[in-house]
């Protein structure tokens, strides 16, 4: 690695829920710098999720994200002219980042002439109930890591 690692800037909690996770989620949903639009989408989705699960919005969101977080993933590693898929532990920050990306990606891919907050809320509820596309993606990544356990010594 060249140079110094960039310092991590602190993330301000959002105004409505006072949660850094919601603030991060808004940033992931945001497209083309349209932060207010992203906030509206996320707040509506979290509010709808809270109504459906009969819990607080932030608690439901945290549980949904926790259900999607992968504990282990595979990384490509070149050893002796061959590429191996080596299973590695995932850091907490990367777990959260992957979970948020997978939830949003699943919502964007399943959107058909529906408002995005509705689709996002549905995907969050699926993640809360441990079902849906984001959970399938997590299971696929974990299964791949389990299948390549033989190459763990190259980590």
Contact 49, 121 (CB under 8 A): yes
Flag whether pLDDT at 147 surpasses 90.
Answer: no
CA distance 146 to 61: 28
Residue 155 has what pLDDT?
64
What domains can be seen in the chain, in order of their start residue?
20-154 (1.10.455.10)
Residue 38 backbone zone (phi > 0: left; psi -120 to 50: alpha; other: beta): alpha
Residue range 47-64: average pLDDT? Answer: 92
% of the chain residues with pLDDT over 90 = 67
**Per-residue confidence at 1, pLDDT binned at 50, 70, 90?**
low
Q: State pTM to two decimals.
A: 0.89
**Per residue in 99-142, pLDDT tens?**
999 999 999 998 888 899 999 999 999 999 999 999 999 999 99
């Amino acid at each position: 690695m060249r140079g110094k690692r960039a310092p991590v800037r602190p993330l301000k909690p959002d105004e409505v829920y006072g949660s850094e996770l919601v603030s991060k989620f808004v940033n992931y949903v945001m497209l083309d710098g349209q932060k207010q639009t992203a906030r509206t989408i996320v707040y509506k989705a979290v509010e709808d999720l809270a109504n459906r699960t009969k819990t607080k919005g932030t608690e439901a969101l945290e549980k949904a994200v926790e259900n999607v977080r992968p504990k282990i993933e595979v990384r490509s590693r070149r050893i002796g002219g061959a590429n191996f898929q080596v299973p590695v532990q995932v850091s907490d920050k990367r777990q959260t980042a992957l979970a948020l990306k997978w939830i949003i990606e699943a919502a964007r891919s399943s959107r058909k002439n529906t408002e995005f907050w509705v689709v996002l809320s549905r995907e969050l509820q699926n993640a809360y109930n441990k079902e849906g596309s984001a959970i399938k993606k997590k299971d696929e990544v974990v299964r791949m890591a389990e299948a390549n356990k033989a190459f763990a010594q190259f980590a």
